[in-house]
Structure 1
Amino acid sequence: MAEEGQVIACHDLRVWHGQIRKGYESNKLIVVYLTAPWCVPCKFMAPVVDELAKKFTNVMFLKVDVDVKQLKYVPIDFGVDCGVESMPTFVFLKNDVVLDKLVGADKVKLEQLTERHATIVVYFTASWYGPCKFMAPVVDELAKKFTNVVFVKVDVDELKSKAVDFGVDSMPTFIFLKGGDVVVKLVGADDKVKLERLTETHATL
């Protein structure tokens, strides 16, 4: 069985239905990667998808070969034509709802859409600061508990420009992103209960 950070190849209907059900039950963003062995752009995108799976470990990437007879209805269910001009196609799902589709080998757009539809918590920290050290294990536990949320750690000493971009001037700061927009900003290490509550709220949206 594939672990987080890997692309899951669905070779038959049993695997497909099992993985889709698992994704829905965990409330994860699912990216369905419709591909074909004869498709040259698909071969170009394969390592790109592998890298995205490693980067967005809390997003489920499912690879479907449209030439497999058992799986021929999967692209049809998503309204995807399996012709030369339609491969590869990426379908973004959450809770049985199609959020987006991307047709073609556009690696920049693929990463942008993955980031847009994932729930992301950006954790601004400094390795030398006591409150940040206190919150580090708290964030680790939340990442384990809320497997459908992507936690991104930013060390402000290494990436000062990112802190400036988000208007961060106090440590630690937690920025919640949804659809590429800031939805919540939480500053300080005083309220780990509130941090968990906010994570739970936005993980289910």
Structure 2
Amino acid sequence: MSVVKLTVENFEQEVLQAEKLVLVDFYADWCGPCKMMSPIVDEIAEEESEIKVCNINIDQAMEIAQKYRVMSIPTFIAFKNGEEAGRQIGAVSKGELLSLIK
């Protein structure tokens, strides 16, 4: 499955009302570490069918970034049943990111 692009309009439906675990990548286009993580996020989306992988551009969805207190990017937040279940900040290995959601 490919990465789902989130917006302010679809965040609640795609993340908070999701039936399965959701990994959200908070990023910005200008962020170097975010660009480094993009291929890893894409790999996880393709390989882990039981997880919904999404990303959201903080510059286009500042209110959501503020609501979840995203102070640094990239920030990865795992959501389960509409609640935050884990958080990882910064560029990390694929294994470290998977440990957040496993």
TM over 0.5, yes or no? yes
Task: Give the TM-score band, short-chain normalised.
Answer: 0.7 to 0.9
Question: In the alignment, is the contact (CA less than 8 A) between 2:27 and 2:56 conserved in 1?
Answer: yes
How does the TM-score come out when normalised to structure 1?
0.41
For 1:19-30, what aligned pairs fall within 5 Å after superposition?
A: none
1:190 aligns with 2:83: no
Tell me, what secondary structure is at the counterpart of 2:42? helix
**Residues 1-205 of structure 1: matches in 2 within 5 Å?**
115-199=17-101, 201=102
**Consecutive aligned runs of 4 or more in structure 1 exceeding 6 Å deviation:** none
Larger radius of gyration: 1
Q: Deviations over 1:17-42 (max 9, x none)?
A: xxxxxxxxxxxxxxxxxxxxxxxxxx
Q: Which runs of 5+ in 1 are unaligned?
A: 5-54, 56-110
Code of the aligned partner of 2:25: Y
Provide the aligned length of Structure 1 versus Structure 2: 91
- C-alpha separation between the residues in 1 aligned to 2:68 and 2:25? 11
The runs of 5 or more residues in structure 2 that have no matched partner are 5-12
SS in 2 for 1:118: coil
Percent identity (aligned): 32
For 1:179, give the aligned amino acid. N
Matching residue of 2:10:
none
Cα RMSD for the two superposed structures: 2.0
Shift of 1:197: 2.2
The letter of the residue matching 2:61 is L
Alpha-carbon distance, 1:116 to partner: 4.2
The aligned counterpart of 1:84 is none
Q: CA deviation at 1:196?
A: 1.8
* Between structures 1 and 2, the one with greater helix share: 1
Bigger relative contact order, structure 1 or 2 (CA pairs below 8 A, ≥6 apart): 2
